[in-house]
Chain A
Amino acid sequence: DAEITQSPRHKITETGRQVTLACHQTWNHNNMFWYRQDLGHGLRLIHYSYGVQDTNKGEVSDGYSVSRSNTEDLPLTLESAASSQTSVYFCASSRDLLNEQFFGPGTRLTVL
């Protein structure tokens, strides 16, 4: 069955290190999204992509970057991790913009 996966599921890192979170979907969806979820804030959009080589900034993009070299993957990179980036990160994809988004299981990131 088609699915969306994230790795790692848990990550502990130190302030200042570069971290990359992986997101892989097998639906061949053009649209992919990264969100973060913190207590009291719901989910907030970090970056999104509408296709290969396309990336766009979301509401809370500072300190994050993405690249889309193929349809299946949208890795999220924290260039220099900060304690404020401790959060749960969710990746999502959708077939088209009118349809539902399918979410991955999440990555819990702790920055010490």
Chain B
Amino acid sequence: DAKTTQPNSMESNEEEPVHLPCNHSTISGTDYIHWYRQLPSQGPEYVIHGLTSNVNNRMASLAIAEDRKSSTLILHRATLRDAAVYYCILREESSGAGSYQLTFGKGTKLSVIP
């Protein structure tokens, strides 16, 4: 079963901020929250990740709820190039010592309107 819940799709106007939500109510204390995105006809690319504190990088910001049961990826000014499927992923420890897998759900398809 998927460990994260995201809306199937969202729309944003170009140059407006976008808030992409993700629910992960069963997150464990050692799970990191990762975000990837996939542009059309390309492989996924890393966006950002965090554990407890909010994180910023050149691509986006990640806001993590205090109870860690949800997070929000923030694109500060959406561009047409940001139209993609965005995946919220928990990095979990699988069976076997020291193994950490990324499990991709169906993601949120973001459309950017010019």
Q: Complex Cα distance A46/B69, Å?
A: 28
Taking CB atoms, residues of chain B closer than 8 Å to A75 are none
Q: How far is the CB of B59 from chain A (nearest CB, A)?
A: 11
* Interface residues contributed by chain A, number (CB under 8 Å): 23
If A50-B99, A56-B96, A100-B49 touch, whether A92 touches B104 (CB-CB below 8 Å) is: no
| Most chain A CB inside 10 Å of its own CB: which residue of B101, B105, B107 | B101
Q: Is the CB of A98 closer than 8 A to any CB of chain B?
A: yes
Q: How far is the CB of A109 from chain B (nearest CB, A)?
A: 15
Taking CB atoms, residues of chain B closer than 8 Å to A98 are 32, 91, 100
Q: Complex Cα distance A104/B106, Å?
A: 19
Q: Cβ of A106 and Cβ of B104 under 8 Å apart?
A: no
Find residues 74-114 in chain B having any chain A CB closer than 8 Å to their own CB.
Answer: 87, 91, 96, 98-107
Residue on A nearest B45 in the bound complex, by CB? A103
What interface size band does chain B fall in?
Answer: 20 to 34
If A100-B46, A104-B43 touch, whether A56 touches B99 (CB-CB below 8 Å) is: yes
Find residues 86-108 in chain A having any chain B CB closer than 8 Å to their own CB.
Answer: 90, 92, 97-98, 100-106
Q: Which B residues lie at the A interface, using CB under 8 A?
A: 32, 34, 36, 42-46, 49, 87, 91, 96, 98-107
Q: Enumerate the 10 nearest inter-chain pairs by beta-carbon distance, A residue then B residue, closest first.
A: A103-B43, A100-B46, A43-B104, A97-B100, A42-B104, A42-B106, A90-B43, A103-B44, A42-B105, A106-B43
Besides A97-B91, A98-B100, 18 other CB < 8 A contacts?
A42-B105, A43-B44, A43-B87, A43-B104, A45-B101, A45-B103, A48-B101, A50-B99, A59-B103, A90-B43, A92-B43, A98-B32, A100-B46, A100-B49, A101-B46, A102-B46, A103-B44, A106-B42
